[in-house]
């Protein structure tokens, strides 16, 4: 993979002794009684301490394997044929370990600059009618299974079911370590090619679903004034649910300065719907602000894998061929069933590698 090939340029920049000195300094600071006086600073120092410990252990492990590699190469030059075969076998295993640990070090180095953020994901049926809504449901299940595999927490904020059991739209939050790093590439148009259950002639239909991955803002990042909001209430509608069309619990919220509109009707309580709608509204306003900032910074655009816009076709799921193709990096894998079951790493990791390759190029490391 591209990132593995370029990883050595980062290793050259690691000063182990410098890392150890910083680690020991933080360790001493954390042991002082007054360290707990400033909770915020203590938390940051503890996170940095943990990060340095893990990185130092990885670098030391790599140095150990490099020594083993050197010794095995010397054996190959000196020993008899029988011992050479054993040394060659061991050398092959050591090279595999070095390659893996280089990848682990690379992940750790990039981890420091990757924000830990909660997400709000919005999935909407687009072209293709009911078939599109059914595939929107498939994608939602795929992300939920992926989240479950990684121990992440999901919560539905808003949904709109169709009569055939599909999803016209669904908005859900996702919390977990590295969630942003893994799923930030999912924004865009997802295309499905398959024979619908309602198709008697066996013809393949093409439908699309849009996905938006939004960062959920923290309270300190975004303040919304009450006067900037217009809130309307109405009776919920849609397929299923005993509370539908019974009370005015549904909420439509408009942010007047930006024109952003969201609605929520999932909860029986209007208060709960207001709270959920406000979370989604903030995420959408934050997305708008981030897009405006990104458009001003050309360097950031160079490091992105695709534009991240909802109008961009990013992936095709072809059921007949059991194929998943990511159009941004011309990557194809014939494991459609496993992907839809939530085994997304084989699709996501090449995207991460490509992004890192672009970062290397932007920084002039290659």
Please identify, among 80, 111, 142, the residue that sits at the C-terminal boundary of a domain: 111
Render pLDDT for 76-96 as a digit per residue (tens, 0 to 9).
877 667 777 888 888 889 999
In this structure, the answer to whether residues 68 and 148 fall within a common structural domain is no
CATH of residue 255's domain is 3.30.160.20
Residue 294: predicted pLDDT? 57
Render pLDDT for 163-188 as a digit per residue (tens, 0 to 9).
888 899 999 999 988 898 899 899 99
Please identify, among 86, 111, 136, the residue that sits at the C-terminal boundary of a domain: 111
Range of the domain at 234: 226-293
In this structure, the answer to whether residues 8 and 72 fall within a common structural domain is yes
Q: Six-digit token pair at 156?
A: 């539905």
Contact predicate 121/172, CB 8 Å: yes
The Cα angle at residue 82 between residues 78 and 85, in degrees rounded to 5: 85
Q: Please provide residue 295's backbone torsions phi and psi, each rounded to the nearest 5 degrees.
A: -70, -20
In this structure, the answer to whether residues 313 and 170 fall within a common structural domain is yes
Q: What is the mean pLDDT of residues 62-88?
A: 82
Instruction: Give the rounded distance of the alpha carbon of 47 from its chain centre.
Output: 21
Give the CA distances from residue 51 to residues 20, 43, 89, 105, 324, in Å, rounded to whole numbers and listed in that order: 12, 12, 34, 11, 35
In this structure, the answer to whether residues 53 and 156 fall within a common structural domain is no
Q: What is the mean pLDDT of residues 101-107?
A: 82
The Cβ-side half-sphere exposure at 58, using a 13 Å CA radius, reads: 21
In this structure, the answer to whether residues 144 and 213 fall within a common structural domain is yes
The residue written with tokens 């669904």 in the block is 170
Query: In percent, how much of the chain has pLDDT > 70?
Result: 82
In this structure, the answer to whether residues 88 and 27 fall within a common structural domain is yes
pTM: 0.69
Residue 2: predicted pLDDT? 34
In this structure, the answer to whether residues 208 and 312 fall within a common structural domain is yes
Nearest to 105 by CA among 181, 14, 184: 14
39-78 helix and 16-31 helix, angle to the nearest 10 degrees: 150
Q: Which residues fall within 8 angstroms of residue 96, CB to CB, at 6 or more apart?
A: none
Q: Where are the alpha helices (DSSP H) in the chain?
A: 2-6, 8-11, 16-31, 39-78, 81-111, 129-150, 179-183, 270-296, 298-303, 336-340, 345-362
Q: Give CA–CA dist 21/255, Å, rounded.
A: 50
Say how many domains are in the chain: 3
Q: Give CA–CA dist 319/253, Å, rounded.
A: 39
Residue 112: predicted pLDDT? 66
The residue written with tokens 């989240």 in the block is 147
In this structure, the answer to whether residues 8 and 94 fall within a common structural domain is yes
Average pLDDT in the chain: 82
In this structure, the answer to whether residues 210 and 329 fall within a common structural domain is yes
Nearest to 342 by CA among 160, 152, 162, 155: 152
pLDDT surpasses 50 at 218: yes
Q: Which residues fall within 8 angstroms of residue 95, CB to CB, at 6 or more apart?
A: 69
Q: Please provide residue 176's backbone torsions phi and psi, each rounded to the nearest 5 degrees.
A: 165, 160
Confidence of residue 7 (pLDDT cuts 50, 70, 90): very low
Render pLDDT for 277-330 as a digit per residue (tens, 0 to 9).
888 888 888 888 777 665 555 554 455 565 545 567 899 999 999 999 999 999
* Residue, of 345 and 1, whose pLDDT is higher: 345
Q: Where are the beta strands (DSSP E) in the chain?
A: 119-125, 153-161, 167-175, 188-194, 205-215, 229-234, 250-255, 260-264, 313-318, 323-326, 331-333
pLDDT surpasses 60 at 239: no
Q: Is 215 helix (H, G, I), strand (E, B) or coil?
A: strand
CB atoms within 10 A of CB 79: 14
Render pLDDT for 136-165 as a digit per residue (tens, 0 to 9).
999 999 999 999 999 999 999 888 888 888
Give the CA distances from residue 179 to residues 115, 202, 283, 354, in Å, rounded to whole numbers and listed in that order: 10, 39, 16, 18
Residue 114: predicted pLDDT? 67
Query: In percent, how much of the chain has pLDDT > 90?
Result: 29
Q: What is the mean pLDDT of residues 204-220?
A: 85
CATH of residue 153's domain is 3.30.70.1660
Please identify, among 53, 76, 111, the residue that sits at the C-terminal boundary of a domain: 111
Confidence of residue 266 (pLDDT cuts 50, 70, 90): confident
What are the DSSP calls for 249-277, one per residue? -EEEEEETTTTEEEEE-SSSSHHHHHHHH
In this structure, the answer to whether residues 100 and 144 fall within a common structural domain is no
Render pLDDT for 9-38 as a digit per residue (tens, 0 to 9).
444 456 778 888 999 999 999 998 888 888
In this structure, the answer to whether residues 105 and 12 fall within a common structural domain is yes
Q: Is 328 helix (H, G, I), strand (E, B) or coil?
A: coil
Residue 211: predicted pLDDT? 93
* Residue, of 282 and 338, whose pLDDT is higher: 338
Lowest mean pLDDT among 75-79, 203-207, 346-350: 75-79
Q: Six-digit token pair at 95?
A: 């090279």
Residue 247: predicted pLDDT? 60
Residue 234: predicted pLDDT? 81
Residue 194: predicted pLDDT? 92
Residue 191: predicted pLDDT? 94
pLDDT surpasses 70 at 362: no
CB atoms within 10 A of CB 361: 14
Q: Please provide residue 311's backbone torsions phi and psi, each rounded to the nearest 5 degrees.
A: -80, -10
* Gyration radius from the chain CA atoms: 25
Residue 344: predicted pLDDT? 95
Q: Which residues fall within 8 angstroms of residue 337, CB to CB, at 6 or more apart?
A: 322
Residue 144: predicted pLDDT? 96
In this structure, the answer to whether residues 179 and 311 fall within a common structural domain is yes
């Amino acid at each position: 993979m591209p990132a593995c090939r370029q990883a050595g340029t980062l290793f050259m920049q690691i000063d182990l002794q410098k890392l150890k000195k910083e680690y020991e300094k933080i360790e001493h600071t954390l042991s002082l009684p007054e360290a707990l006086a400033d909770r915020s600073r203590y938390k940051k120092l503890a996170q940095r301490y943990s990060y340095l410990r893990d990185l130092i252990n990885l670098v030391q492990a790599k140095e150990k394997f490099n020594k083993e590699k050197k010794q095995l190469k010397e054996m190959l030059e000196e020993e008899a044929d029988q011992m050479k075969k054993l040394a060659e076998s061991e050398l092959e295993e050591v090279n595999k370990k070095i390659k893996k640990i280089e990848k682990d070090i690379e992940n750790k180095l990039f981890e420091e600059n990757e924000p830990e953020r909660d997400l709000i994901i919005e999935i909407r049926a687009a072209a293709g009618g009911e078939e599109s809504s059914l595939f929107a449901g498939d994608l939602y299940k795929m992300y939920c299974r992926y989240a479950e595999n990684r121990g992440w927490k999901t919560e539905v904020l808003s949904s709109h079911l169709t009569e055939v059991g599909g999803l016209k739209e669904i908005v859900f939050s996702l919390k977990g370590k590295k969630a942003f790093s893994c799923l930030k590439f999912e924004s865009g148009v997802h295309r499905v090619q398959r024979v619908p259950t309602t198709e008697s002639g066996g013809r393949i239909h093409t439908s699309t679903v849009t996905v938006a991955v939004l960062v959920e803002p923290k309270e300190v990042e975004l303040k919304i004034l009450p006067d900037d909001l217009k809130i309307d209430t109405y009776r919920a509608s849609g397929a299923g649910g005993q509370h539908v069309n019974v009370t005015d619990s549904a909420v439509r919220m408009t942010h007047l300065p930006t024109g952003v509109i969201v609605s929520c009707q999932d909860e029986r309580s209007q208060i709960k719907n207001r709270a959920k709608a406000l979370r989604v509204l903030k995420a959408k306003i934050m997305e708008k602000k981030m897009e405006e900032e990104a458009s001003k910074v050309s360097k950031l655009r160079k490091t992105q894998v695709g534009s991240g816009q909802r109008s961009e076709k990013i992936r095709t799921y072809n059921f007949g061929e059991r194929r998943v193709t990511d159009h941004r990096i011309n990557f194809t894998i014939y494991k459609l069933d496993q992907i839809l079951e939530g085994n997304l790493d084989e699709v996501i990791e090449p995207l991460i590698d490509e992004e890192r390759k672009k970062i290397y190029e932007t920084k002039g490391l290659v």
